[in-house]
Structure 1
Amino acid sequence: MPYEQAELLKKIQAVEFCATELTLYLDTHPDDAAALSDYNRFAGELAALKKEYTEKYGPLCVFGHERAEPSWKWVEQPWPWEIEY
């Protein structure tokens, strides 16, 4: 995996971790305006990073994408255990 692709994937993983943790926190603290603001910021950043990754390297997951033409790109990506960081 090229260095730039691996770095973008690491950034996606970090931002997704933050968004997930904030989701869990907001489940028990729904009135925390600062946490909600942080969540919205991370969610927006995550969407932008995933869009960038998909445009440059192909889909991150097998579902939720446009048509699979001209090829089924999912199988062209390395499996998670094949990625060396």
Structure 2
Amino acid sequence: MDSRQLQLLHEIMALEFTAIELNLYLDTHPEEQEPLNDYNQVTERLNQLKAHYEHLYGPLVSYGFSPSEYPWRWIEEPWPWEIQF
């Protein structure tokens, strides 16, 4: 695993954490525009990074969330949760 792959995974994890936190905040403060704007920016960037990662290294998740190129790439190792940081 190269350093760029690890860097992308770190960025994805940080953005996922931020999106979850903003989602939880917005559940109790749905009328606040600034956190909603932040949430939309974070999720847009997160989706871009996930697509970029999957283009370079293969799917992050399976079961209908990520299409696969031929041949089936999900069996390639390491799987995202097996990566040691």
Q: CA deviation at 1:84?
A: 1.7
Q: Which has the higher contact order (CA 8 A, sep 6+)?
A: 1
Q: Give the aligned residue type for 2:75.
A: V
List gaps (5 residues or longer) in structure 2.
none
Residues 1:72 and 2:66 are matched in the alignment: no
Structure 1 residues 69, 48: CA separation in 2 closer, same or farther (over 3 Å shift)? closer
Q: Give the aligned residue type for 2:6.
A: A
Q: Is the 8 A contact 2:60 2:66 kept in 1?
A: no
Residues 1:57 and 2:37 are matched in the alignment: no
List gaps (5 residues or longer) in structure 1.
none
> Which string of whole-angstrom CA distances, capped at 9 and with x for unpartnered residues, describes residues 5-49 of structure 1?
011001000011101110011011000111001001101110110
Q: Give the aligned residue type for 1:61.
A: V
Counterpart of 2:3 in structure 1 is: 3
Question: TM-score, normalised to structure 2's length?
Answer: 0.88
Q: Matched residues in 2 for 1:49 and 1:28: separation?
A: 28
Q: CA deviation at 1:70?
A: 2.1
Q: Matched residues in 2 for 1:29 and 1:78: separation?
A: 39
Q: CA deviation at 1:65?
A: 2.8
Counterpart of 1:37 in structure 2 is: 37
More helix per residue: 1
Counterpart of 2:46 in structure 1 is: 46
Question: 4+ residue stretches of structure 1 with deviation over 4 A?
Answer: none
Residues 1:17 and 2:17 are matched in the alignment: yes
Question: TM-score, normalised to structure 1's length?
Answer: 0.88
Structure 1 residues 3, 69: CA separation in 2 closer, same or farther (over 3 Å shift)? closer
